[in-house]
Amino acid sequence: AQSVTQPDIHITVSEGASLELRCNYSYGATPYLFWYVQSPGQGLQLLLKYFSGDTLVQGIKGFEAEFKRSQSSFNLRKPSVHWSDAAEYFCAVGTDSGGGADGLTFGKGTHLIIQP
Amino acid sequence: SQTIHQWPATLVQPVGSPLSLECTVEGTSNPNLYWYRQAAGRGLQLLFYSVGIGQISSEVPQNLSASRPQDRQFILSSKKLLLSDSGFYLCASGRNYGYTFGSGTRLTVV
């Protein structure tokens, strides 16, 4: 079965500083990888996704992520964070179950705090 | 594009009471539908998914059930709530990894 690990429960970053959120996955084949962001009390918004091809993926809001197969990682980065980036970030892996369900397995999330 | 409507946004229910959360989808037909639960410190857990009307699969054993009476309607239910059912419930719609999430229901069982 697949799994996702986000080792950092909380991360505090100063506004304007760079950001990297870590994500490691466990899956036997090539995974489908996602990053979602959740503002308090809200649903999830997709930031970016990786299916195949270029391992550096660009997303919305200035985020990017890099798929590294050798490290089983899919870390999320942003060169300069804004106060509005404060939120919960979830990494997820998807699998083709063959039954048409293609549900996602999520990590436990990383809570991003932005210091002024 | 898809839009998911979930209600209510918040709910406080006593232990042993029944539950019915509704999710409806606009902008697509025959979607795969999902119920996720987000408990504090535990991330999102897939509870149920449905690939069509009347077709429900459960990912984890639990006190909850799901039904899909119409193509774009997905209902999460319980006959008797437990304290452990508290959490944030999210409905999602998607196919081929184009997912859309609803805004969620915060359920507190007291």
* Distances A20 to A7, A31, A76, B69, B94 between C-alpha atoms, Å: 12, 21, 5, 43, 28
- Hey, of A102, A105, A110, which one would you mutate to test binding to chain B, going by the most B CBs within 10 A of its CB? A102
Strand partners, A101: none
Contact B97 A100 (CB under 8 A): no
Task: Look at B105 and A94; give whichever has higher pLDDT.
Answer: B105
Q: Is B103 within 8 Å of A34 when comparing Cβ atoms?
A: no
> In this predicted model, what pLDDT tens digit does every residue of B9-67 receive, in sequence order?
999 999 999 999 999 999 888 889 999 998 876 778 889 999 999 999 887 767 899 99
Contact assignment for B32 to A101 by CB distance below 8 Å: yes
Q: Is B60 on the interface with A (CB under 8 A)?
A: no
Q: What is the pLDDT of residues A52-84, one digit of tens each?
A: 889 999 999 999 999 999 999 999 999 999 999
* Torsion sign, CA atoms B45, B50, B54, B60: negative
